[in-house]
Chain A
């Protein structure tokens, strides 16, 4: 058999396998029940917090703040930089608040079926850093730091200032 025929057949087979894999993945993807996470208010009406979602039984009643980093299955270089620099900024500048439990860093994969609901909850169109205020296990206020994607292209210092200043303002209730 000619090499050209073999290469053509191999490539067509690979294309066929890839297309079949897409179909199989889509047919096998069943929505999983939402994981027990704090309920999130609608962006348009923050006062009306949703209560339908199950809450962790040990959810504390006091106010606490969460810095979420939402990522997908695909981790690009810029996404990883945003995650690392945000994490470094938070752990360096808010060490006391993290130790006391007033502030928490959470890493969430929104492509995981049980966490897909966060896309709707926080209106996530891409990998994002989101600040949230939890009270009694419910998220009462949140802010998407959408500018991380342009700040990351500048200096690390500028990026850190943006994340830290936004977090300080948010925790002070001024977001």
Chain B
């Protein structure tokens, strides 16, 4: 039991180490910005943060189960994810950033209610998008996260036979620092906005900053992983 608990603590710690290493800094900034952008509705920021954590956890959990069962070869999967997810991440972040800045919008229908309905769907998708963001960011392995997941966590998981809980704890660990920062920023911005009676203005700027960051990080990732690689 003690050994299992030690392993669980190690899995969680490996996740935190992954998150605070410099390698996934760009995607962490994007995630913090995305989660904390709902200044006016901090309940949504908390929900987005939990969905982001759930997305990451689910991804590592599935990978842990699949790899523990030897259904896929570790080196091949690791190189595939490191190469292609990072390549595709740049264009994806730019497109998401363009939607956040409303440079791209969903098509409005001919009916008067249709546009409002689409907007409501888009808002809802924005919250659920945090979960999707967690899944995509978890899959975009950089060298450090690949080493800590495939090299440290996976052997621990296979040795202990805990192919669900350990990868799950690792996923929670990778999201904890991001979640903490995002909620501090969201609540801090709301407090500041309330003090100045400008919460809606703060929200508008939070969304613009998030969109701008997504585009800047997307351009940087495209240059680094596609055009200059």
How far does the alpha carbon of A80 sit from the alpha carbon of B166 in the complex, in Å?
29
Residues of chain B lying within 8 A (CB to CB) of residue A17: 227
Determine whether B23 belongs to the interface, using a CB cutoff of 8 Å to chain A. Answer: yes
On whether the beta carbons of A11 and B103 are closer than 8 Å, the reply is yes
How far does the alpha carbon of A22 sit from the alpha carbon of B94 in the complex, in Å?
16
How far does the alpha carbon of A150 sit from the alpha carbon of B95 in the complex, in Å?
36
| Interface residues in B79-102 (C-beta closer than 8 Å to A) | 79, 82, 86-88, 90-91, 94-95, 98
Determine whether A8 belongs to the interface, using a CB cutoff of 8 Å to chain B. Answer: yes
Determine whether A27 belongs to the interface, using a CB cutoff of 8 Å to chain B. Answer: no
Interface string of A1-25 (1 = CB under 8 A from B): 0001001100110110111011001
If over half of B's interface residues share one DSSP class (helix, strand or loop), that class is named, otherwise mixed; here it is: helix
Total residues of chain B contacting the partner, CB 8 A: 40
Given contacts A126-B146, A149-B151, contact A8 B98 (CB under 8 A): yes
Given contacts A76-B23, A125-B78, contact A22 B143 (CB under 8 A): no
On whether the beta carbons of A124 and B75 are closer than 8 Å, the reply is yes
Determine whether A107 belongs to the interface, using a CB cutoff of 8 Å to chain B. Answer: no
What is the interface of chain B, defined by CB distance below 8 A to chain A? Answer: 14, 17, 21-23, 74-79, 82, 86-88, 90-91, 94-95, 98, 103-104, 142-144, 146-148, 150-152, 155, 215, 219, 222, 224-227, 229
List 14 A–B pairs whose Cβ atoms lie within 8 Å, in order of A's numbering.
Answer: A15-B91, A15-B222, A18-B90, A18-B222, A22-B87, A74-B225, A77-B22, A78-B143, A79-B143, A120-B75, A125-B75, A125-B146, A125-B150, A127-B143
